[in-house]
Amino acid sequence: MSEYKYMCGFGSHFSSEDPRCPNALPEGQNTPQKCPYGLYAEQLSGTAFTAPRKENARTWFYRINPSAKHLPFQSYEKEGGKYLTHNWDEQKPNPNQMRWKPFDMPAPNEKVNFVQGLHTVCGAGDARSRHGLAVHVYMCNVSMENMAFYNSDGDFLIVPQEGVLDITTEFGKMKVAPNEICVIPQGIRYAVNVSGTTRGYILEVYDNHFHLPDLGPIGANGLANPRDFQTPVAWFEDRQVKDFSVVSKFQGHLFVAKQQHSCFDVVAWHGNYVPYKYDLSKFNVINSVSFDHCDPSIFTVLTCPSSKYGTAIADFVIFPPRWSVQEHTFRPPYYHRNCMSEFMGLILGRYEAKEEGFMPGGATLHSMMTPHGPDAKCFEGASNAKLAPERVAEGTQAFMFESSLSMAVTKWGEETCQKLDAKYYECWQALKNNFKLE
């Protein structure tokens, strides 16, 4: 039997039990005096107990050992997290357009796991006050052995770019390949196994959890459909381990607690606070079929809303393969200055507005009110192209983390990584003055 099976639906209330232990879920209540199989009942709350029912998120675990059975937490920052930070004041602000060449993989003689390979590029806000976000990249080449990781600060939206992530969670197992994403909400424990060099991007949000965007006039269907989100089924191991490590990201720092058993010992669970994955190729693109280039919000997959209606702490937006048919229209993205911050990454292929210099595994950041748009080559080509129906972005998947917060770049992002492209500004210098007074 395959260990990778899923239940479908976004925001659904699921029930799952490992088939090796039938009837492990208690009947009719959450905390019986004695749970089936001698298990412990444990609740994981993703929202306040008193949150409105439509927003309330929690899961009940039925596990072999309670999570509290561990030794005290100690600092883990000598072993990992060297470049993980939420200190947004370590560099002076820089409003320039920024572009990074592909971030370096670990050297062949290095052994770096997922946690050790986390590097913060930019962000804003404060995990302690539960407001803000961070953008990280990960580069790793070995699996997490006899250890698990969880984030006390917020949710991780993980975007693999190279290499498959084989993720074991307290809920079960899932595989996440490039052109798929997964979300691991706050507090959920998991381990990442890899085969060879692996790289990707992470959007972390502190305020809230990710939601599907409202569709408004689009109607009931379109964009990312709820049925295409997948949550793993229950799977457990009853394994005694000497010094199993549980690593916690807490207030921006890493801590580790030792215990003598695997934390992946959940035999059954039920609830709506779950990890999930999504295949980006299933996104139902909505676009103009008459004229003009629509705003990129039509490509929003998931959103983390702020307290201000219609304004996000972060949106996850993609630019997938699609047909372009607009008449009398400059079809690529328009030139733009924005009250939002825009961090872009490239999973595969070439981005339509900048086919040179922006490479898979690299990134760009266009900060608040910093102008950006197509490079000179793209502008000339699109301004003179025959406007026949055409397939755009074929073989490409670019994405954007867009935020209403003004993000600061870390020292690692601006200096240490040595991947910032100092010549990025040159892509606009060849734009001509085409003004003609007639």
Among residues 336, 356, 390, 415, which one is catalytic? 336
Give the closest residue to 203 by CA, choosing from 177, 179, 176, 181: 181
Could you confirm whether 211 is annotated as catalytic? no
Residue 95: which residues within 8 A CB-CB, separation 6 or more?
Answer: 367, 369, 370
CB 422 within 8 A of CB 414: no
The letter for the amino acid at 66 is P
Could you confirm whether 86 is annotated as catalytic? no
Among residues 342, 352, 402, 414, which one is catalytic? 342
Tell me the C-alpha distance between 122 and 158, whole Å.
16
Residue 8: which residues within 8 A CB-CB, separation 6 or more?
Answer: 227, 228, 229, 230, 231
Could you confirm whether 328 is annotated as catalytic? no
Residue 40 phi, psi dihedral angles, 5° rounding? -100, 135
Could you confirm whether 270 is annotated as catalytic? no
**Which residue has 């691991």 as its token pair?**
184
Among residues 86, 119, 209, 366, which one is catalytic? 366
Could you confirm whether 342 is annotated as catalytic? yes
Among residues 131, 211, 253, 293, which one is catalytic? 293
C-alpha dihedral over 411, 412, 417, 419, to 10 degrees?
-60
C-alpha dihedral over 152, 154, 159, 160, to 10 degrees?
0
Tell me the C-alpha distance between 137 and 123, whole Å.
12
Tell me the C-alpha distance between 308 and 335, whole Å.
26
Tell me the C-alpha distance between 174 and 182, whole Å.
9
- Give the distance between the most distant pair of CA atoms in the chain: 87
DSSP for 19-66 reads TTSTT-SPSS-S--SS-GGGPEEEEEESS-TTS-TTT--EEEEEESS-
Give the active site residues: 293, 336, 342, 366, 372
